[in-house]
Structure 1
Amino acid sequence: MKNYIILMLIALGLSSCSRILDTEPQTTISDEAVIVDQKSAQAALIGVYDGLQGYATNIVSLDLAGDNVVNFNAQNNVVANKTASGSGGGFSGIYSVINRANFVLNKVPSLSDALVSSANKNQILGEAYFLRGLAYFDLVKIYGGVQIVLEPATKADAHKGVKRSTKEQTYAQALADLNKAEELLPTTINRNRANKYTVFALKARLYLYTEKWELAEEFATRSIGNTSFKLVKPYALFFTGKNTEESIFELAFSTSDPSSFYTNWNSPDRGGRHDYIPERAFAGLLLNPNLGGSRKSLLFQTPAGVYDLDQYSKQNGTSSIFLLRIAEQYLIRAEARAKKAAPDLAGSASDLNQIKGRADVPLFNYIPSTTKEELLLAIENERRFELGFEGHRFLDIVRTGRAATVFGTINKELLKPDFWIFPIPQSDILRDPDLTGAQNPGY
């Protein structure tokens, strides 16, 4: 399969800097010289995070596939067709992260205690397992089953002959990596780095996608029960601030390590290209005090009267990307409680109302005659408002089997389940003979 060579870093040790450091790429690497001691192991791990920074914007941009975000120059095309000629949600970038993680996981275990302490080795390996598990989870929820590679690419044909695995096998690999990460990582909370609580939160999401409702509830509860995580008020604080109690895993940027993602959202007079804007009808819902409530702070109106997104708009490139936050855990638990074998509708409604209450919108009126279907629709809608620009909307509707109902009236293509997942980018198929004939049906 297509191989991606790890970027070696000129970096300080992890303990000296909390941000993700800049990287210096090298086109060739001596496999034996990449990771030789604690400093180089830490530097290689930072390279994995750096790769995650690179593809995380593609995950957020998946909202273009749904009804929350549109291209500024095609605003009437609310749910656009997906084509194999597009970037495809960051396929190559995700595999780059996997290959970098594979280098860490391949080399660090053999380092002696004199070169890296046992505690530091566990920390480095645990973070690498988490990041690889996240990468495989992102791949499977976007593309279905993919090629699974667990060894680093040391030469161009290192993974020749690796075919696509099934969706179930890919989910299993993601879960296996998260299980290893949970064994190795401490409970010490760092909102920008993997720890046990990032594992718990991602497991809750994975179990939601794989319909393991009791486990989704259990792992969401682990984060919700930790007083270090809270729904912050006012609502805008979670994205105007930095590393607030809302965050479980936040990709934070700084003026010395900026993100250019704001250029996709900002108009030219604010230093951007104005590629994306909130869809007009969705913006209206957010501005409705009974639906969006204080979440209207996600938007601001330009002098031209257009509503732009404020969440990623800082012109110095310091807007964070939120991969896991506590609000989602409440909504995961609410859905899991409603769907499990012995539904807890009262508990589900209570979790839903935690989100509604923070957003200052009317609470869900749960009464004994409330049906599970009524509650699940309310949760679906609340996920749309609460997580509106974080890459969840399209995938949420697909995983619940409602894409034809919700999106099919807007785009007839979405009436067909073939189009509920993304195509493998054609450029990657052309580069990788093992993907020839493996394109997702319909593309």
Structure 2
Amino acid sequence: MNKLKNTIIAIACSVAFVGCHNLLDVEPYSVLTDDNYFQDINDVKSATTGVYDVLSDKSSGLYWGELIIFDMLATDEAYTERQNEREISEFLYNPSTKYVEKPWQGSYKLINRANKFIEKVEAMDSTMVDQDEKRKYLGQVRFLRALNYFNLVRHYNEVPLRLHSATGVDDTHVPVSQPEDVYKVIIADLDSAIGALPNHYGSGDLGRADKAAAIALKSKVYLTIAGYPLFGGETGQTEAYTMARDLARELIDNQAEYELGLWDYYGDEFETMNDNGKEDIFCVQFSSSVGLAPAFEGANIHKETFKSTTKNGIKYDGKHTVRPSTYLKNTITKNDARGNLISNVFYINGKKYTNKESSKKPNMQMFHKWIDQEILDGALNAQVSDQDWKVFRLAEMYLIAAEAENELNGPTADAYAWINTIRERARNDSDGNPVEGAVPDLEGLDQESFRKAVLNERMIELHAEAKRWFDLVRTQTFEEQIAAAQQAREFEFPNQVPEGYILPIPYEEYVSNDSIDYVQ
């Protein structure tokens, strides 16, 4: 267990936040807003962990559940047969849907904590804390604020921009800002973080945002700005693609400096023991051993992807909420190692079992990258696991660089080299040896064909990592991709994509924030 997880355990009972019903989550007087609290570096460290905690907090609706489930189910790569979640995969969500409301609430909860932290820590002088250390912790929190504003602006487009801590309900009556203004804040936070953070943390601080994480996020920000709905905005599309490519290339070309690398076999990246490993740039930390409060629980994703079963008198819990679509399964070619992680077969202590398929149950496939083998082998009927959620990994940087380069200059040698590096790894078996004829290098494509190829490569490489919804929105390919998924198996996607990709602002936000006009 890394130091960040240990810190969460240690402060679970001593650092508490008080919430309220407003979706912008006004948190009144608490230990972290007390002027007597921010006195030394230990206070700063504890407060930083309090900001990180929101990412994995069960009640926040972020990486524990609602955020990632929505971004998988509202796409062509996954679907569900669970009634409560069908409104997502059938595109029937509305301003009162919890998968619309909770990520909004959780994002602003973290942002408010981040704002409090920044205000208090910036005011600490050299007699209270070493200024270099202070900048590092401010850099981490600015990264976290940027990440959450990035999730908000991509989902909802126009959102309230709050840069000061809320001390009362009146402070939450904030009008929405244009996306360009939100992105300016995101980029400013990331520039500050890049200038303050170390390239990489040692083993005692794994899980904290470092310079590589800030660079990766900034690269993704510019790739998004270049697409729908801004198409470059004030930055300009050419400059946005250039920034996305060059930032991704910084990590690709300097892997030793940032302690990054690709595993030889795709599946190794998703072994729990390799969490925070060489391919991971930033992960949300989870630990099933933390049970001091509801907020400090392990990951829920195993339960959401595994189908419950009883073997040898032992029940293995699972909801099987998120299932791979037939379209995704059919898209992955023979001997592509990434297809090994999509299957209706599973193992318990080396013994093979199969979720049988039939006309009544035609798709019993599972996303194996999120199935915790330790739970199965240990006969643990666990609700949660130790799996960390991978927000950014090095493989995505190769695909960002390839996509941006193609948009700028067509399929150049660099663009091919980057995308084919990912395809080369995909042809390796579990021993890291290439399978003859599997996943051949791309070649001879025009710009449009390469554009489609890299979007397809992102779906396969990053499947079930909550990336696809954003890709379909920014590339304006939602309708055609859902149509293709319907053709593969219609009952998985019975409805058309709704008009407009952007999510509605939650209804409760209109009720609590009189600075926003309700739009039906």
Q: Does 1:36 align with 2:39?
A: yes
Match of 2:214 among 186, 195, 199: 199
2:418 aligned residue: 351
TM-fit CA distance, 1:435: 2.9
Match of 1:230 among 243, 261, 283: 261
TM-fit CA distance, 1:157: 1.9
Q: Does 1:104 align with 2:117?
A: yes
TM-fit CA distance, 1:405: 2.4
1:260 aligned residue: 300
**What letter matches 2:148 in structure 1?**
A
Q: 1:121 to 1:38 in 2, by over 3 A?
A: same
Kept after mapping to 2: 8 A contact 1:266/1:272: yes
TM-fit CA distance, 1:16: 5.7
Percent identity of equivalent pairs: 25
**Matches of 1:34 and 1:433, distance apart in 2:** 33
Match of 1:169 among 160, 165, 181: 181
Q: Does 1:432 align with 2:513?
A: yes
After TM superposition, the structure 1 = structure 2 runs for residues 381-420 of structure 1, keeping only pairs within 5 Å, are: 381-407=456-482, 410=486, 413-414=496-497, 416=499, 418=500, 420=501
**What letter matches 1:363 in structure 2?**
P
TM-score (norm 2): 0.75
Match of 1:318 among 371, 386, 389: 386
TM-score (norm 1): 0.87
Kept after mapping to 2: 8 A contact 1:349/1:375: no
After TM superposition, the structure 1 = structure 2 runs for residues 349-388 of structure 1, keeping only pairs within 5 Å, are: 349-360=416-427, 361-367=438-444, 370-388=445-463
**Matches of 1:348 and 1:79, distance apart in 2:** 36
Deviates more, 1:83-92 or 1:104-113: 83-92
TM-fit CA distance, 1:140: 0.7
After TM superposition, the structure 1 = structure 2 runs for residues 7-26 of structure 1, keeping only pairs within 5 Å, are: 17=4, 19=6, 21-22=8-9, 23-24=12-13, 25-26=16-17
**Matches of 1:344 and 1:375, distance apart in 2:** 7
Kept after mapping to 2: 8 A contact 1:142/1:421: yes
CA-to-aligned-CA distance 1:94-143 (integer Å, 9 cap, x gap): 11110111111000011122321112101110101111011111111111
TM-fit CA distance, 1:355: 0.9
**Matches of 1:233 and 1:254, distance apart in 2:** 27
Kept after mapping to 2: 8 A contact 1:356/1:363: yes
2:106 aligned residue: 93
CA-to-aligned-CA distance 1:142-180 (integer Å, 9 cap, x gap): 1102100011112222233x1000111111111111111
After TM superposition, the structure 1 = structure 2 runs for residues 262-341 of structure 1, keeping only pairs within 5 Å, are: 262-269=302-309, 270-286=316-332, 288-289=333-334, 292-301=336-345, 302-305=354-357, 306-314=364-372, 315=375, 317-340=385-408
1:8 aligned residue: none
Structure 2: any 5+ residue segments left out of the alignment? Answer: 19-27, 227-239, 291-297, 310-315, 346-353, 358-363, 376-381, 428-437, 487-493
2:231 aligned residue: none
**What letter matches 1:114 in structure 2?**
T
1:3 aligned residue: none
CA RMSD in angstroms, aligned pairs only: 2.4
Kept after mapping to 2: 8 A contact 1:64/1:71: yes
Match of 2:52 among 45, 49, 52: 49
Q: Does 1:149 align with 2:177?
A: no
Structure 1: any 5+ residue segments left out of the alignment? Answer: 1-14
**Matches of 1:16 and 1:243, distance apart in 2:** 12
**Matches of 1:188 and 1:142, distance apart in 2:** 30
Q: Does 1:180 align with 2:210?
A: no
**Matches of 2:80 and 2:469, distance apart in 1:** 16
TM-fit CA distance, 1:415: 6.3
**What letter matches 1:246 in structure 2?**
E
Q: How many residues align?
A: 417
**Matches of 2:342 and 2:482, distance apart in 1:** 23
Q: 1:324 to 1:365 in 2, by over 3 A?
A: closer
Q: 1:285 to 1:401 in 2, by over 3 A?
A: closer
Kept after mapping to 2: 8 A contact 1:295/1:359: no
SS at match of 1:322: strand
TM-fit CA distance, 1:303: 3.0
Q: 1:245 to 1:400 in 2, by over 3 A?
A: same
Kept after mapping to 2: 8 A contact 1:235/1:295: no
**Matches of 1:16 and 1:310, distance apart in 2:** 27
Match of 1:215 among 218, 243, 247: 243
